[in-house]
Amino acid sequence: MFGQIFFREKLSFLQWVAFCLAIAGVVTQTVISGSLPWVSIGMALSFSIYGLLKKKISMPALESLGIECLIVTPIAMLLLFAPFVSVLLPTWQSVGYMADLPAITFFFLVLSGAITMVPLYLFGRGAQLVPLSTLGFFQFISPTMNFLFAFFVFGEPFPWYNYIVFGLIWSAMILYIISLNIATRERTDQ
């Protein structure tokens, strides 16, 4: 939707069908579960806004990621070093607990920041190269990876109705990919 609203991107007939199938999947999941998937919608909206900003701001991906880090650093430092009380941690906590961590855990904690930067950079670069509507459709890859890990690695149950939802959403993805292939062939034939 953001691609159409902000960049006047046009969807082909197959892309509209794909969009309707994806919506049908979300509606089916909502009806089956009995409530709107607020967390999923919130995540989709936040990534849509992030992608929109990445596409709107004409700045190289690496530089924009650097600015993002500069903006987030004071907040991260506050959360890391300021003592706080929460429901889960009822006593005052701060960075002092890090001294008790094993060296390998501390190493992986520090490394996780660098590892997180790579997908963010690639997302920012991709946002500049592809239409926002395409970028949005490929956001279905992450939930699919979560499903695969949950089902095959952790053995979590997958009720029969989730196959319907999964089928609708991945049918939408397949149609969208087919529509991109058709559009690419039409451009190369001209």
CA–CA separation, 168 vs 116, rounded Å?
30
149 in a structural domain: yes
Please name the residue that has the structure tokens 């892309």: 15
Angle at 13 between CA 7 and CA 18, to 5 degrees: 85
Q: Are 61 and 124 in contact (CB under 8 A)?
A: yes
39 in a structural domain: yes
Query: What rounded mean pLDDT belongs to the chain?
Result: 83
- Name the H helices within 82-131: 103-129
87 in a structural domain: no
**Domain count across the chain:** 1
Name 93's bridge partners: 84
Q: What average pLDDT does range 65-83 have in this prediction? A: 82
pLDDT at 70 (0 to 100): 92
* Residue 6, token pair as written in the block: 């902000």
82 in a structural domain: no
Please name the residue that has the structure tokens 């049918």: 171
Q: What average pLDDT does range 107-133 have in this prediction? A: 84
The CB density around residue 174, as the number of other CB atoms within 10 Å, is 11
List the domain range (segments joined by +) for residue 157. Answer: 2-58+129-189
178 in a structural domain: yes
pLDDT at 89 (0 to 100): 56
Interval 75-114: pLDDT, tens: 877 777 666 656 555 555 556 666 777 889 888 888 888 8
Enter the pTM of the model. Answer: 0.67
96 in a structural domain: no
Half-sphere exposure of 158 (CA within 13 A, CB side): 16
163 in a structural domain: yes
185 in a structural domain: yes
Single-letter amino acid, residue 185: R
* Residue 64, token pair as written in the block: 């924009």
Contacts (Cβ under 8 Å, ≥6 apart) of 71: none
pLDDT at 94 (0 to 100): 58
Q: Is the dihedral of CA 25, 175, 153, 89 positive or negative?
A: negative
